[in-house]
A and B are shown apart, each in its own frame.
Chain A
Amino acid sequence: MRSSVVFRLSIPQKILAYSALVFLSIPALLPLLWMVSTSLKNDAQLFVQGDASAQPLTLGRLIPHPFVWQNYPTALNMVPFFTYLQNTLLLCAVTVIGACLSSAVVAYGFARIPFKGSKLLFMVMISTMALPSQVTMIPIFALFRWLGWYGTYLPLTVPTYFGVPFYIFLLTQFYKSLPNELSEAARVDGASEWTIFARVIMPLSKSALVTCALFQFLGTWNDFFGPLLYINDPSRYTLAYGLQQFLGAHGGEWAQLMAASTLFTAPIILLFFFAQRIFIQGIATTGGKN
């Protein structure tokens, strides 16, 4: 079904295509390269950039001269980076487990048990994804405050244990694609739905669960708004929130700021390179749901 096989490009057309691709890669990559490059420069190198009378800025400046590694240890000393990292990883682990398990259970119900009202409820669930969070965030904040959860991680973690609509949607699609004979065979043997889910379906859905885990990890790692609302104790900051606080406290120290940004972004980029296919497939599926 691939449509692209139809077209063969001529040599000039190929050259044109490559030039466009290379040209457009520059703005795509430059901000990240500049971030890393700045993190390896000293103040003198940065100030030259701002001096209009000095040599004009060229892309050759991307390569620091000399390389200054000191910004990294300095940045790590300016903020308790490892505490933030630990907090972030803890939150990631707890939310990934919660989101994947609860979403899988719910998705099994929607995909493989025909019950009354399932279609309607599924529609309701899908439509909640489009609901602007602003409409619900104030009462939710009031609720968590009333429960005494303000300042703890509970507001950031507990909601993920009630199923996440996007993952429920992805997993439902996946479970629907599995042949019915799988469950029928187990049902004949007298297995309960729960046993079928836990023993037959779950082991088959590793790939779909990995997609959900990846998105949830990314979501928690990047989350800025949650910690902004609920976390007030600096020893509980996450990396995303900590980086913003770093900016507030040391706004002019660009080399250290870029070192901190690099440390914060690098794990996500590494993860992306290892799991690129899962990322892209997961995102591409969202568009095909209409």
Chain B
Amino acid sequence: MKKNLVGYAFISPWLIGFCLFTAFPFLASIYFSFTRYNVVSPPVWVGTANYQVLLTSDPLFWKSLKVTLYYAALAIPLGVVAGVSLALLLNLEVKGMSVFRTIFFLPSIVPSVASSVVFMWILNPQMGLINGLLRRFGILGPAWLQDTDWALRSIVFMSLWGVGGSMVIYLAGLKEIPAHLYEAAMIDGATTFHRMRHITLPMLTPVIFFNLVMGIIGTFQVFTEAYIMTQGGPEDSTLFYALYLFQRAWRYLDMGYASAMAWILFIVIMTVTGIVYRSQKRWVHYGE
């Protein structure tokens, strides 16, 4: 009995914080999503009006959902492929590997405000580094962040630049694959391709699964890059869901509407993660 009390006393900071900053806001935002609310005056109950407007007569809502899904469909798989490939490369037994690990990891710790400003400069249509280099090969580069076709792709490129964080997680996963599996395969005369196909990748699937889930949760919340570099433009081509939600809430003080958006976001994330979660039986390999 006393043990229980002492235990709860120790976790009480988190428990109180959880109630104040997670549980209560979580429930309150359900309520807000059924109201008209501008923070200054008390919320007014409007029933399902916010959801109705969102789903039937707000083209920007659908646009932002489309932008975010398109980004997720590009950035998540590319991130997994790039992260795994770099980790495999770094797992080779050659000298000086720690230097390369540092180099590849470095971009992921650069503050996103700084990387956004730097990418705006690099992708500048006239004076930017990328178009300057392209010009050298006789290619007239696009206007990148100012081009409706290229702006979103530019942000995908930028996300790949920061792939070092997940690369480190893959690398740790590779280091944990027991050597005896490979030794057995060598005795059986397995080729490099076979080792990769039947040992390395299957053993890495739990880590890929983890990064996939985190990637889904993260990409649906992309905000800073878009807020700083494009403000959603040109022509709403980078109007990420989280950015539109922010604009609704803080630019137009449509907090009830934004709460409804937050709940739709939550349901979309839960659904997509749920599908990935259900799929893990088919491809994620646990244990040896």
List residues of A whose CB falls within 8 A of some B CB. Answer: 1-9, 14, 17-18, 20-21, 24-25, 27-32, 34-35, 38, 46-47, 49-50, 52, 56-58, 61, 102, 105-106, 108-110, 113-116, 118, 121, 124-125, 128, 130-143, 145, 159, 161-163, 165, 168, 193, 197, 218, 221-222, 224-225, 228-229, 240-241, 243-244, 247, 254, 257-258, 261, 264-265, 268-269, 272-273, 276, 279-280, 283-290
- Contact check, B93 vs A9: say whether CB atoms are below 8 A apart: yes
- Contact check, B13 vs A136: say whether CB atoms are below 8 A apart: no
Q: Which residues of A contact B89 (CB under 8 A)?
A: 17, 20-21, 24
- Contact check, B118 vs A258: say whether CB atoms are below 8 A apart: yes
Q: List 14 A-B contacts (CB under 8 A).
A: A6-B182, A25-B100, A25-B103, A29-B103, A105-B13, A113-B6, A131-B26, A132-B265, A218-B109, A224-B113, A224-B227, A243-B113, A261-B117, A287-B210
Is B150 on the interface with A (CB-CB < 8 A)?
Answer: no
Q: Which residues of A contact B91 (CB under 8 A)?
A: 3-4
List residues of B whose CB falls within 8 A of some A CB. Answer: 3-4, 6-11, 13-18, 20-22, 24-26, 28-29, 32, 39, 86, 89, 91-94, 100-107, 109-115, 117-122, 124, 126-129, 132-133, 135-136, 161, 164-165, 168-179, 181-183, 186, 206-207, 209-211, 213, 217, 220-221, 223-224, 227-228, 242, 245, 249-250, 255, 258-259, 261-263, 265-266, 269, 273
Question: How many inter-chain contacts with C-beta < 8 Å in the A-B complex?
Answer: 294
Q: B-side binding surface: helix, strand, loop or mixed?
A: helix
Q: Which residues of A contact B109 (CB under 8 A)?
A: 218, 268-269, 272, 279
Known: A115-B7, A265-B114, A288-B176. A31 touches B92 (CB 8 A): no
What's the Cα separation between A270 and B236 when bound, in Å?
Answer: 38
Q: Which residues of B contact A276 (CB under 8 A)?
A: 102
Scoring A52, A57, A193 by chain B CB atoms within 10 A of each residue's CB, the highest score goes to A57
Q: A-side binding surface: helix, strand, loop or mixed?
A: helix
Q: Which residues of A contact B122 (CB under 8 A)?
A: 31, 34
Known: A58-B136, A106-B13, A139-B28. A9 touches B174 (CB 8 A): no
Known: A244-B113, A244-B228, A283-B168. A135 touches B266 (CB 8 A): yes
Closest Cβ neighbor of A272 among chain B residues: B109
